[in-house]
Amino acid sequence: QIGDSITAYGRFLQVSHTVIFGGVGQGPQEKAMNRGVDIVVATPGRLLDLMGQGFVQLDAVKTFILDEADRMLDMGFIPDVERILVKLPKERRTGFFSATLPTAVEVLAKRLLVNPARVTINPEQPTVEKICQRLLYVDRDHKDDLLVSILRGPEVGRAIVFTQMKYKANRVCERLERVGISAAPIHGNKTQSARTKALDNFRRGKVKVLVATDIAARGIDVDGITDVFNYDLPTEAETYIHRIGRTARAGSEGQAWTFCSKEEAGLLLDIERLIKKPIPDDVEH
């Protein structure tokens, strides 16, 4: 997605770039690096692989951006990032981007940055005003039926459903397909090519519903997502904000549906504490 954005924004500029990530053949990535590029967009693991094989030299880098710093920390990528940092010139500009700033991320920022300027966007508004948030209390065994009934409504266009577990994402997809609702799963057990294909079909409208785990869905930027479903409540309250932020983008409006079983009451309290208000209860269902 970042590579696509560079192509779009840099259309009239003499700027070359390449995207480096695992799960696909590295041949095209090697060729791009041998030619030389202005911007490299990379995941830490594959970048280190190519550095180790001599295809990537970082001694001329002038700007280094660490995006999704909070997720990098959660997923254990920071040691890889630090191995990359030691290969960068000491004189450089460094940007550190994070959707949330828990204490561990603040500590990391202090370690990686030198006297940084801090820019915070709408810290007092963690959820987008244009999202209509709804809370639906439902037994765990009835979540599938409730999901199907809402997805069949004419006002639902393109939707993302969030589950906690990979196996559950597959199961929800199978249930939706059985009743004639086109769906595709996206999670860590899927190959990179399968995830790319699912996202592509979703973007083109061939698939109505993307069923995803949080890590796989992080950073997905698809226009026209009308509805987000919290099929399972997230274990971290901040993740709720990331999830519902998939809709109501670029000034449009959207719906966020949260399915809460009695076992998830504690997680709901954490979310409402974070957003500093109760999620409106939809009793009509």
| 19-67 pLDDT per residue, tens | 999 988 999 999 999 999 999 999 999 999 999 999 999 999 999 999 9
Domain boundaries along the sequence of the chain: 2-112, 131-275
CA–CA gap between residue 259 and residue 162 (Å, rounded): 10
Torsion of the alpha carbons at 244, 250, 252 and 254, rounded to the nearest 10 = -10
Per-residue pLDDT tens digits for 69-117 = 888 887 788 899 999 999 999 999 999 998 777 788 888 888 888 889 9
**Strand ranges for 39-117 from DSSP E:** 39-42, 63-66, 93-96
Options 3.20.20.120, 3.20.20.80, 3.40.50.300, 3.40.50.10330; CATH for 2-112 is: 3.40.50.300
Backbone φ, ψ for residue 6 (5° rounding): -60, -40
Per-residue pLDDT tens digits for 116-174 = 998 887 654 545 677 999 999 999 999 999 999 999 998 899 999 999 999 999 999 99
The top-level CATH class assigned to 131-275 is alpha beta
Distances (CA, A) of 160 to 187, 205, 242: 13, 13, 12
Evaluate whether 216 touches 187 at the Cβ level (below 8 Å): yes
Query: What average pLDDT score do residues 244-268 get?
Result: 89
CA–CA gap between residue 80 and residue 217 (Å, rounded): 22
- Is pTM beyond 0.85? Reply is no
Same fold, 2-112 and 131-275: yes
